[in-house]
Structure 1
Amino acid sequence: MTTDVNVAFAEEKAEQIDSARNEAERFQARIDKGEIRLIGGDRYEVLTGWDRGETFTARLNAEGKVESILAQHGLDTSTGAAALYTTVPAWHGLGSVIPGGTTDIDEVLRLGRLDWEVRKVPALYEWEGEIRPHPEKFHTVREDTGAALGAVGKDYAVFQNRRVFEFLEELTGRFDLVWESAGALRDGRRTFVTVRLPESVVIDRGGLNDEIILYLAAINSHDGTRQSETLVTPWRIACGNTERFASRDAAHRWAMRHTSGGLDNLKEARRTLGLTLDYAKAFEREENQLVRTELGIDQFHDLVSSLWPLEEDASDLAIASSTRRHDELDGMFREEARKVGRTAYAAERSVTDYLDHRIRVVPRNLSEELARGQRALEGAYDDLKSKAHRRLLLVRN
């Protein structure tokens, strides 16, 4: 079984776009099951599965039947065409498709409509007919279109697209990698490039045969809301949804803050990215060890208790919350064990799924969905995932 979420996503979009047969019944069934929900107007969000977090527009007729479903690609079209280069056609049919790809970074920037730079300019305000600069505030502006991308502070450093992406160029030469995709989102506020690793990770060869295709992705930000980052992810970015999924499902990441010394992290990223193939092989070995390690229900409960320890003098509220967590994780582990066996691998998948999709998020001035997305981007639960992984590797049959 090959886990290629990109193929699954494209097939799902093609089915939605090309066929409306029984769409109303399927659409309502997904709502009834809690798989999708209305988020305002005619916009919906997917709540479960590998495409969790996708947003789309569903247009209904007077009888409430689905007439069309339009996924939101989010690509920059401010220069007259979609800012996307890709080696395979994307689900939305947009962008420059180059079968086989290219190893020339300048060609990638041109085809992806990323060959522009960003300038930081003073923020101005009007006072009694006079235009004055605000000494502490600036705007980031595209030099080709003059579009304002974001409001930033005086210490914010602009990272040009080419500068952030070019460190991957060394890897394309060392490991014969090809640029898989590149483009811009939200009028250029976010830009991205991905390359595919030459080898897949295969878990339980001859058994589950769960093959995971991995990509390296570099994502740059120009609006002052996020750090730039590089990721190891199963997603080939080709739209706004897949960009979010790439960050959500990253197996490893390096972040770069937009400060004067932020790009120094590129040196560490270049060094560690050169070890990515070794990392993938080590990941494969460890996951296969978990597949071969049987794990009982009691052992799984011990794992949960070690991840979320309960104090001896815990309040009734804390005890009730802990019991609910144990019960939910117990059910998730039993369901996962039914599919892949009662193993440490099933336990890790259950804990990861709980942290990514189920754990209650208390938002701070954000909707719960935005708060959950922010925590995923910031890797808020990476330590718990790593702790669970290490403990399961120590389990012996």
Structure 2
Amino acid sequence: MSDVNTAFAQEKADQVEEVRAEARAFQDRIDRGEIRPLGGDRYEVLTGWDVGETFTVRRNAEGRIEQILAQHGLDTTTGGAALYTTTPAWHGLGAVIPGGITDIDEVLKLARIDWDVSKRPVLYEWGDGIRDAADRYVTVRTDTGEALGTVGGRYEVFQNRRVFEFLQDLVQRHDTVWESAGALRGGRKVFVTMRIPHSIVIDRGGLDDEIVLYLAAINSHDGTSTAESVVTPWRIECGNTERFATRDAVHRWGIRHTKGGLSTLEEARRTLGLTLDYAKAFEAEENKLVRTDLLVDDFHKLIDGLWEVDEDATDRTKRNAQNRHDELEGMFRDEARKLGRTAYAAERTITDYLDHRMGVVPRNLSEDLARAQRSLEGTNDDLKSKAHRKLMLLAR
């Protein structure tokens, strides 16, 4: 016979401990420089694949963490979240249609973006009258009358439906299944995503490690940026994934808000074609790495070649190098158990380390500036490319 009171007490004790453990882990991430406070209860992620994500922490009266809420940034002007998607998003919002649909008007309605934008003159008070600001206009949502931004006379509004049509024209197909669509920041940004038919599959029939690419169009209505198309591994479903999609784009091209801006397709098609060629070449190279066995000694040589340490380096530098060496070796052994001891497992190890594990050495910079400098200099991209080239030599 079970005592429900004892069971209840144990369950609550476990829940309390789980919250405390989460709070400790959260503070550890702040201490390691992986998260930084933005003020109030808002925080920003500084490392890993979700770098740049912002979220809010809810605390109880005693100041303990009760809930961590990521900021989705979706437009909720009309009551619900402005999102249509074929796959449930992490935030659980929006209209989810498994398998997706092809009808643009239906997607516009489900995504709550079936509204237009108009340009209205900028007016201002002067004395007892109202004057018109020359060549200045406000972009306005036609469903709510909400002002989205201020633009010049030459600014051309790209209506939401036209962005769908642009992607159809770009791929020269009108039976496109739309992956996601929606609006951010009160409608100031609108996004549309479709899946590119050709996926990258590593070791087909074996590992079947699939990398899906999406073609997305991101349009602004506030005059702060051009419209943009990107080829990306991210399906846009919120403000964070929109940011990640542009950050990790394989290729991108901007479209100025001018007459005919969405009609000039040749350059966009050329870029898309190059992207698809790149995807096929990348898949072939990765499959070579899957079929290339790699000794642990070869992996050690790879590490030493990527992070060379001078003989006259300080003891601290040598100690840090050894720690990095040991961590990478452990990560490679873990990957090898899942993927086999191959050049592909080695590349995955290096990529994972650079994206998620490698710290920043601030030197005379603040940690935030050091991270920004590393991003601008493309240090990680250079190391990934260098590792790939070295492993491809072994594969040949």
TM-score scaled by length of structure 2 = 0.72
Stretches of structure 1 lacking an aligned partner (at least 5 in a row): 1-18, 306-321
* CA contact 2:335–2:349 (8 Å) conserved in 1: no
Of 386-395 and 140-149, more deviation after overlay is shown by: 386-395
Of 180-189 and 277-286, more deviation after overlay is shown by: 277-286
CA distance in structure 1 between the partners assigned to 2:265 and 2:387 by the alignment: 28
Q: Find the structure with the greater CA-based Rg.
A: 2
Shift of 1:180: 1.4
CA distance in structure 2 between the partners assigned to 1:91 and 1:128 by the alignment: 53
Shift of 1:65: 2.1
Change beyond 3 A, Cα 1:175–1:279? farther
Superposition pairs of residues 25-104 of structure 1, within 5 angstroms: 25-33=21-29, 34=32, 35-104=34-103
Instruction: Give SS of 1:121's match.
Output: strand
* CA contact 1:172–1:178 (8 Å) conserved in 2: no
Change beyond 3 A, Cα 1:241–1:274? same
1:11 aligns to what? Answer: none
Instruction: Give SS of 2:242's match.
Output: helix
Instruction: Give SS of 2:20's match.
Output: helix
Instruction: Give SS of 2:217's match.
Output: strand
Shift of 1:61: 1.1
1:203 aligns to what? Answer: 202
CA distance in structure 1 between the partners assigned to 2:323 and 2:283 by the alignment: 28
Instruction: Give SS of 1:106's match.
Output: helix
2:189 aligns to what? Answer: 190
Instruction: Give SS of 1:180's match.
Output: strand
Matched, 1:157 2:153: no
* CA contact 2:47–2:356 (8 Å) conserved in 1: no
Change beyond 3 A, Cα 1:170–1:127? closer
Change beyond 3 A, Cα 1:65–1:195? same
* CA contact 1:38–1:45 (8 Å) conserved in 2: yes
Query: After superposition, what is the alpha-carbon deviation per residue over 1:333-377, rounded to whole angstroms, capped at 9, x for unaligned?
Result: 657645546977545874797589979799xxxx959x959x78x
Q: Which amino acid aligns with 1:87?
A: T
Of 110-119 and 32-41, more deviation after overlay is shown by: 32-41
CA distance in structure 1 between the partners assigned to 2:62 and 2:103 by the alignment: 52
Change beyond 3 A, Cα 1:175–1:136? closer
* CA contact 2:226–2:255 (8 Å) conserved in 1: yes
2:180 aligns to what? Answer: 181
Matched, 1:229 2:225: no
* CA contact 1:86–1:182 (8 Å) conserved in 2: yes
Shift of 1:192: 0.8
Q: Which amino acid aligns with 1:252?
A: H
Change beyond 3 A, Cα 1:29–1:360? closer
Of 121-130 and 187-196, more deviation after overlay is shown by: 121-130
* CA contact 2:140–2:148 (8 Å) conserved in 1: yes
TM-score scaled by length of structure 1 = 0.72
Shift of 1:159: 2.0
Using the aligned pairs only, state the percent identity.
Answer: 58
Superposition pairs of residues 102-117 of structure 1, within 5 angstroms: 102-117=101-116
2:166 aligns to what? Answer: 167
Change beyond 3 A, Cα 1:331–1:213? farther
Shift of 1:265: 4.5
CA distance in structure 1 between the partners assigned to 2:352 and 2:255 by the alignment: 25
Q: Which amino acid aligns with 1:240?
A: G
Q: What do you get for the CA RMSD once the two structures are aligned?
A: 4.6
Superposition pairs of residues 1-397 of structure 1, within 5 angstroms: 22-33=18-29, 34=32, 35-170=34-169, 174=173, 177-205=176-204, 209-260=208-259, 262-270=261-269, 272-273=271-272, 277-291=276-290, 337-340=332-335, 346=346, 350=350, 354=354, 368=368, 388=386, 391-392=389-390, 395-396=393-394
CA distance in structure 1 between the partners assigned to 2:323 and 2:229 by the alignment: 33
* CA contact 2:48–2:356 (8 Å) conserved in 1: no
